[in-house]
Amino acid sequence: MIFEQVATGGCQSYLVGCADTLSAVLIDPEISQMDRYRGLANRDGLRIRYVIDTHTHADHFSAANELAEMLETPVVMHQSSPAPYATLRLDDDDMLLVGNLRIRALHTPGHTRDSMCLVVEDRVFTGDTLLIGGTGRTDLPTGDPEQLYDSLFGKLLRLDPATLVYPAHDYKGRSHSTIGAEIADNPRLQKRERADFVRMMRELNLAAPTHLTEALRTNMTGGKTVSQLLAAAAATVPFMALADLERRVAARPNDLLVLDVREEAAFKAGHIAGAMHLPRGQLELRVNEAIPDPTLRIVTCCEFGKISTLAAATLRELGFTRAVALDGGMKAWRDGGFPIEV
Ligand SMILES: [Fe+2]
């Protein structure tokens, strides 16, 4: 077996390949590591056959949809997953053949209704059903402590105690554990009576994960995250450094237009000398009258350098082929001590 574990913050993804055929699967990919997964697969000569999400993640952004499109593979999830992009849906005990590997799905609802664990040879990928020294929480959408109890004590913990446990999260830098070690030492698994376990899970009172709504929105629909949208725009425009813009503005050129796309109050409170004001929300509607010359060199600016990136991308699409965005926003401009006009 070829095996790579990729940790991103507390998230764990796994690339698992058949050493005989170089077929592979990617388990729980995270959006910021897309290049890394493909790089690892290329380095090891692997062909990724399936991209699998163990469940609908509420705490990080799944790369399954986008990677599967790039790699032309199915997205594998449990039958009950709400994700419309899940093209291959598994039932309990269904197996995927990946070269000579057999990957068996165990339906283990509880953390979410669509949670599954994946058994491959000597190990099990437990998603958020079982963590090292913990379990997934059951207080997020479709979570259910009664189901988690059944999934753990009735199913997962009945695997051979020597089975290696690879969870979807670990925040302490540990790579894996075993079923036997978890049964012995995992504090939550010491509550072996159903009522005790369920009461403990109900009383955990955990804070909501950061990005909860955005993660559920994108993971349940296949829609883009806000940072993906910004990154897509940033990939289509060049940027100008703050100091370069100061130097150019000071030289008073007549072919450079600084376009401030913030709202009026922000513009009036202080802007770059000679800047034209055209709020992002009115850009398309007013651009024809405001900027008749498409050959101008245009530098867009906003407060934090994000909306200006979208504005520059829109201008390029409209034919202003020399539009660039300021690298940083007016906040960075002010903090850098660059000159302001009111
Ligand atoms: Fe999760």
Please count the other Cβ atoms lying within 10 Å of the Cβ belonging to residue 92: 14
- What percentage of the chain carries pLDDT values higher than 70? 100
Per-residue pLDDT of 14-62, as tens digits, reads 999 999 999 999 999 999 999 999 999 999 999 999 999 999 998 888 9
> What are the structural domains of the chain?
2-223 (3.60.15.10), 228-335 (3.40.250.10)
- What percentage of the chain carries pLDDT values higher than 90? 88
Q: Report the separation in Å between the CA atom of 270 and the middle of ligand 1, taken as the mean of its atom positions.
A: 45
Q: Report the separation in Å between the CA atom of 257 and the middle of ligand 1, taken as the mean of its atom positions.
A: 48
- pLDDT for position 184: 98
pLDDT band for position 79 (cuts 50, 70, 90):
very high
- Length of the chain, in residues: 342
Q: Report the separation in Å between the CA atom of 168 and the middle of ligand 1, taken as the mean of its atom positions.
A: 8
Per-residue pLDDT of 126-149, as tens digits, reads 999 999 999 999 999 899 999 999
- pLDDT for position 104: 97
pLDDT band for position 183 (cuts 50, 70, 90):
very high
Q: Report the separation in Å between the CA atom of 112 and the middle of ligand 1, taken as the mean of its atom positions.
A: 7
- Rounded-to-integer distance, Cα 252 and Cα 234, Å: 27
Q: Report the separation in Å between the CA atom of 262 and the middle of ligand 1, taken as the mean of its atom positions.
A: 38
Please return the burial class of 68, using the count of CB atoms within 10 Å of its CB with bins 0-12, 13-18 and 19+.
Answer: buried
- pLDDT for position 208: 82
Q: Report the separation in Å between the CA atom of 260 and the middle of ligand 1, taken as the mean of its atom positions.
A: 41
According to DSSP, the residues that pair with 258 across neighbouring strands are 299
Q: Report the separation in Å between the CA atom of 169 and the middle of ligand 1, taken as the mean of its atom positions.
A: 8
Q: Report the separation in Å between the CA atom of 134 and the middle of ligand 1, taken as the mean of its atom positions.
A: 13
Per-residue pLDDT of 195-249, as tens digits, reads 999 999 999 988 888 788 888 888 888 888 898 899 999 999 999 999 999 999 9
